[in-house]
Structure 1
Amino acid sequence: MAIKPQRLEKGDVIGIIAPASPPNQENLKRSLSFLDELGVKVKKGKHVTDQYGYLAGKDSDRLADLHNMFLDEEVKAIICAGGGYGTGRIASQIDYSLIKENPKIFWGYSDITFLHTAIRQQTGLVTFHGPMLASDIGKEDADPLSKQYFSQLFEPLTLDYPEGISNLETMVSGSAAGILTGGNLSLLASTIGTPYEIDTKNKLVLIEDINEEPRAVDRMLNQLHMAGKLEDAAGFIIGDFNNCVPERELSLELDEVLDTYIKRVNKPAVKGFNIGHCSPHISVPLGVRAELDAAGKKLTIESGVK
């Protein structure tokens, strides 16, 4: 049973955490003006400025910030400052009963995919795949459309992927409906064989990635294929694969790799969605029902808040 978090209201407090890599502090500071425009207040986690190699602090500290934000009754939503690496390291230490008892908006993408998957499958909480503060919103060239989709947190409205913002292509025709799941392909593959293994049964599966050569995308899709995850899906939403280009002379193109795996299972699929490491980046709730009309290239998603 899906648990939808309570919608935001003007004046609510937003918690900011960095559960993966150290966020760009200048961008993070710049993003605060956007949150001010939304009419919300901000509370930063104690370890948002920490650095421990490629991690934003030690595992215990990043975990503490996550737990504390869910426990803090004043905080109505948690937005991740950035992604990178490291959320999988804390997944097995999270108190999921604490999250289930204190459901609230949780927002991020990229490395945060591991947390989206683990939290949803352990608690039923609907979470949000969307641009983050330091990684996206705080950049000087942040796209207004990326910012606009934060409005879904304030009103329970059905989302329709906007026509004309990206070149959509039907890979496999037909219609499919199911719970929307997925996110970053690298992180989805890394859940296989763990207690947080992605459940794709009768789901609409979103995949996206960045800076992975076609051979790496091939390896990860093959892993999902051999684990039965592609065959289990109801359909596929192929997001942005930013800079996923060959670095060697002898290579398949990304589209050839995607075609091999997606067309093999013959489930409705559309590629080209501006969801992922792109600008604009259209944010979507995960864990709610969605409908894909592949022939008509239309995606409709149920509201993620109540």
Structure 2
Amino acid sequence: MNRRNVLKSIAVASLSTISGATLANSQHKPIHQMPERLKAGDTIRLIAPAGVIYEKVRIDIAMENMRALGLNPTLGAHVHDRFGYFAGTDEDRAQDIMDAFLDPNVKGIFALVGGWGSALTLPYLNFDQIRKNPKIIMGYSDVTALLNGISAKTGLITYHGPNATSRWNSFTTESAKSVLFDGNSPDYSTPQRTGDALTVHNNRIQTIEPGTTTGQLIGGNLTVFTSLVGTPYLSDMKGKLLFLEEIGESIYRVDRMLSTLKLAGILDQVSGVILGGFTRVDPDGDGFGNFALMDVFERYFKGNGKPTYYGALFGHIDEKHTIPIGQNASMNASKGSFQLK
């Protein structure tokens, strides 16, 4: 995600005026809790916590997606707003989030799109009220900041999965329904399809450091997740299962962000790493001497004793699993799969 000013913006947001409720909540030690499952006919709220939606037809598509899931979608008050490249001011986007949590008729909350800006809503959220009104909240990409921030502050399990405007193909839909509606503990494996080729090309499982491990799932978009380092909105990483994805970044920027996680001690604390889609992540320029993406991955993960594999189905790819942040899972890097516990 080409957001070169993310770290600077987060620092500014962290120094901005924070509500008294947020300050009061900062000492609370979260206990992970599962929100109530969705069922057919439930009313859900669509929010825009980050980027502005320029094409109104995308909101129509999102509403139709939710109805096709058997849900009754409603819109946050500010989803049509525009403040620069945000869907309204930070305070207004945060208000839509709070309104969704506090409305007793709303059973789930889905982000419309990512973009940039979810992190800027965090200082304006009342985490005590969110903790007392637990609900499913789901999205991905920039929504990584919101999901991890809420999880860190409240202990609520949040969901890294398709946005409401995503392409809900059969694989993506079945994964979401299995987790959000049925409460299943699916096996998160990647089908190794050859298609019309002699061997697997797309979504090929590549084991970087073999082995098995367990831990609470945490992660999302690499750029956004890295921007939370040093803020109050990132959970204790000890023993966690870290999952990461990215889009549209040069390989050297992926290298730089992984170095931040390494220098911050995070890569040493986690029990293992699951790498999903790294879409359009290419070398910066041509010629000899460039690292391939796998070279960077092996630099940080190979030989460190932390089971790691590449090729999981989440991120900016067509087929997406829905992953609960904060839930325990077991992972087998040798086979390239993980399973909820």
Q: TM-score, normalised by structure 2?
A: 0.84
Which residue of 2 is the match for residue 66 of structure 1? 97
Query: Could you tell me how far apart the structure 2 residues matched to 1:226 and 1:54 are?
Result: 32
1:27 offset after TM fit, Å? 2.2
1:146 aligned partner = 172
Residue type of the partner of 2:176? Answer: F
SS in structure 1 of the partner of residue 100 of structure 2: helix
Equivalent residue for 1:164? 191
| Residue 260 of structure 1, CA deviation | 0.6
Q: Provide the rounded CA distance (Å) in 2 between the counterparts of 1:240 and 1:163.
A: 12
Cα distance in 2 for partners of 1:296, 1:38 equals 32
Pairs within 5 Å for 1:247-262: 247-249=284-286, 251-262=290-301
Corresponding letter in the other structure for 1:30: I
Q: Which range moves more in the overlay, 6-15 or 165-174?
A: 165-174
Deviations 1:129-152 (A, max 9, x none): 001122x13xxxx53211222212
Tell me what 1:281 maps to: 320
CA distance in 2, matches of 1:89, 1:12: 29
Q: Distance in 1 between matches of 2:191 and 2:73?
A: 34
For residue 163 of structure 1, report the CA deviation from its aligned partner.
Answer: 4.1
Letter aligned with residue 184 of structure 1? N
The Cα RMSD (Å) is 1.4
Secondary structure of 1:161's match? strand
Displacement of 1:31 in angstroms is 2.7
3-state SS of paired residue (1:249): coil
Aligned positions of 1:220-299 closer than 5 A:
220-249=257-286, 251-263=290-302, 265-299=304-338
Distance across 2 between alignment mates of 1:10 and 1:192: 38
Aligned to 2:112: 81
Question: 2 CA distance for matches of 1:299 and 1:230?
Answer: 19
Shift of 1:264: 5.2
Over residues 238-265 of structure 1, what are the superposed CA-to-partner deviations in whole Å (9 max), with x where a residue is unaligned? 0111101013125311111111111253
CA distance in 1, matches of 2:138, 2:326: 13
User: Which structure 1 residue ranges, 4+ long, deviate > 3 Å from structure 2?
Assistant: none
Mapped partners of 1:2, 1:126: distance in 2 = 6
What is the number of residues matched between the two proteins? 297
How many angstroms apart in 2 are the aligned matches of 1:286 and 1:133? Answer: 18
CA distance in 2, matches of 1:207, 1:61: 29
What's 2:128 paired with? Answer: 97
> Residue in 2 aligned with 1:34?
65
Give yes or no for contact 1:27–1:133 (8 Å, CA) kept in 2.
no
Residue number among 36, 41, 52 corresponding to 1:11 in the alignment: 41
8 A Cα contact 1:213 1:245, kept in partner: yes
Aligned letter for 1:298? S
Structure 2 residue identity aligned to 1:272 = G
- Match for 2:171: what amino acid? L
- Indicate whether 1:43 and 2:70 are aligned: no
> Match of 1:20, SS?
coil
> How much has 1:90 moved relative to structure 2?
1.5
Q: Any conservation in 2 of the 1:21–1:83 contact (CA below 8 Å)?
A: yes
Residue pair 2:44, 2:73 contacting (<8 A) in 1 also: yes
Q: Which runs of 5+ in 2 are unaligned?
A: 1-30, 193-202
Q: CA deviation at 1:11?
A: 1.1
CA distance in 2, matches of 1:243, 1:163: 20
Counterpart CA distance in 1 for 2:49 and 2:226 is 19
Q: Identity of aligned pairs, percent?
A: 35
SS of the residue 1:224 aligns to: helix
| Structure 1 residues 244 and 264: alpha-carbon distance in aligned structure 2, compared to 1, 3 A threshold | same
The Cα offsets for residues 20-74 of structure 1, whole Å up to 9 and x where unpaired, read as: 0013431221232222122111110011111111111111110110010000000
- TM-score scaled by length of structure 1: 0.93
Query: Does residue 125 of the first structure (1) align with residue 148 of the second (2)?
Result: no
Instruction: Tell me the residue number matched to 2:32.
Output: 2
In structure 2, the residue corresponding to 1:176 is in which secondary structure?
A: strand
1:133 is paired with a residue whose SS is coil
What SS does structure 2 have at the residue aligned with 1:39? coil
Query: Partners of 2:314 and 2:320 in 1: how far apart?
Result: 5
Q: Is the 8 A contact 2:176 2:321 kept in 1?
A: no
Question: Is 1:115 aligned to 2:134, yes or no?
Answer: no
CA contact (8 A) 1:180 1:203 kept: yes
CA distance in 2 between partners of 1:68 and 1:274 (Å): 32
Paired AA for residue 295 in structure 2: E
Structure of higher CA gyration radius: 2
After TM superposition, give the deviation of residue 12 of structure 1 in Å. 0.7
